[in-house]
Structure 1
Amino acid sequence: MPGTLPVPLNVELPQGWESAPPDKVGAPHAAFVALHKTSQGQGFTPNITVTGRTLEGSGSLHRLAEESVQRLRENLGAVDVVKRTEVGTSTAPGLVDAPGIVQNLRIQATVNEQPMELAQSQFILLLENEQQRGELVEIEVALTAKMSQLDDVLEDFQTFLSALRPAAPTSEGNGPA
C-alpha cells in the first residue's frame, strides 16, 4: 500500500514522465512516483519519488538528511554524499517559507542482480502542517538515475520541484500526491 503525505501537495509532471503506482514499482513507502518514459528498457528507469512524514519534536535539516542517507545505506549499500546545501524558497518557489536542504548522492546498488552506480538528488524540506498548527512535516522529493542518465533528467527534476505546491483544501480531497 503506498505511503501518504501528511500535507497534500499538487504536482505537475514534466513532459516525458508518467506517474506509476508506488507499490508496483518497488517504492511501497512513497506517496507518489513518476517514471521517465523514454528511458524505460535501459536497465534502470529514472524516477522521482515523493515521501513524507510527521516529525516528533523539532526538525533539523542536517539530521533529516543524515537519516535519509542512513536509510539508503541500510537498504541499498554504499552511499557517498557528493554535496549538501541548505536552500530557501528560490529552489521551490511554490513552497513558501519552507526551509530545505538539497543533497546529491552517489549510490552503489544492485538492480536486477546487476551492480549499478546510481545518482540521487534529494530535496528535503520542512513544512508546517496547515491542518495541525505547530506540527512539522518532512517532505522528501528524490530523483534517482544511473550516472549516465543524470544529465538527461536533472532539468526535468528542477522543473518538477519548481511546480510543487501545497494543495488547497477542498471538500473532495487534494492533489495527486
Structure 2
Amino acid sequence: MPTTLPVPIEFRLPEGWLAARPQGADDSEVAFAAVHPRPDAGFAANITIDGGFPKDGVTLEELADASVERLRAFAEPGSVVVVHRREAGSADAPALTQRLGFSALTDGDVRRDLVQSQVYLLLVDTGDPHKRAVIRLALTATAAQHDGVLGDFQDFVRTVRPDNGAGS
C-alpha cells in the first residue's frame, strides 16, 4: 500500500495530468503519483509526492543528498548528476530545490536519459518547533520533455499547502 504523508496537504494537479497508482504501490514510499497524458517515446512524465519525519538536526541538503544516493541505486552506474541545487522558501518555511540528470532502464530494457526536479518543503509544527515534517515533490521526465512540463510542475508546487481541514 502506498505510504501516507506525515502531515495532510492539499494541492491541485495541472490541467490534463492524471492521478495514477504509484509504481510498485504494494511497497512504495510514494503517497501520490500523477502522469502526463502525452508520453514522450513511451515514457510518461510523472509527479510524485512522498514525505516523512526527519531525525533531529538533519538538514534539507542532507535529505537531498540521500535522494541522490537512492537514485544512484536505480540509475545506470555513474549517470546521476546534480545539475542544480538551491535553497528556497523562508526562515518560517524553508525549502530546497534540486535538478538531477540520469540514465535508467525503463520498461525492462529501454535506456532513457531522464531529468528529475525535486522540491523539499520543511513544515514546522507551530505548537512544537522541534516537530518537523518534510514533503518531497518530484517531477521525472525524459530529457527531451522535461522543459516542456516543468511549468506545469512549478504551477503544481505553488498549490501545495498544509490541509487545515477547513475545505475550500
Aligned AA for 2:66? E
Q: Is the 8 A contact 1:18 1:35 kept in 2?
A: yes
Aligned to 1:80: 81
Residue 93 (structure 2) pairs with residue 98 (structure 1) = yes
Q: Is the 8 A contact 1:125 1:140 kept in 2?
A: yes
- Aligned-pair distance for 1:169? 3.2
Residue of 135, 140, 164 corresponding to 2:160:
164
Q: Rate the CA distance shift 1:87–1:145 in 2: closer, same or farther, 3 A.
A: same
Aligned AA for 1:148? A
Aligned to 2:18: 18
| Separation in structure 2 between the aligned mates of residue 21 and residue 38 of structure 1, nearest angstrom | 17
Aligned to 1:93: none
- Aligned-pair distance for 1:67? 0.6
Worse-superposed segment, 63-72 or 21-30: 21-30
Residue of 127, 150, 153 corresponding to 2:146:
150
Q: How many residues are matched?
A: 165
Aligned to 2:67: 68
- Aligned-pair distance for 1:11? 1.2
Aligned AA for 1:28? S
Aligned AA for 1:19? A
Q: Is the 8 A contact 1:45 1:145 kept in 2?
A: yes
Deviation sequence 1:91-131 (CA, Å, 0-9, x none): xxxxx932011101101111111111000100012112468
| Separation in structure 1 between the aligned mates of residue 142 and residue 27 of structure 2, nearest angstrom | 17
Q: Is the 8 A contact 1:123 1:141 kept in 2?
A: yes
Identity of aligned residues (%): 39
Q: How does 1:20-35 map to 2 (within 5 A)?
A: 20-23=20-23, 28-35=28-35
Aligned AA for 1:106? G
Residue of 89, 92, 107 corresponding to 2:102:
107
CA RMSD, 1 decimal:
2.4
SS in 1 for 2:38: helix
Residue 39 (structure 2) pairs with residue 44 (structure 1) = no
Worse-superposed segment, 123-132 or 76-85: 123-132
Unaligned runs of 5+ in 2: none
Task: Name which structure has the greater RCO, CA cutoff 8 Å, separation 6+.
Answer: 1
Q: Is the 8 A contact 2:33 2:46 kept in 1?
A: yes
Residue 134 (structure 2) pairs with residue 135 (structure 1) = no
Aligned AA for 2:154? Q
Deviation sequence 1:13-56 (CA, Å, 0-9, x none): 111101112146798210010100122x7310000000001112
| Separation in structure 1 between the aligned mates of residue 84 and residue 45 of structure 2, nearest angstrom | 20
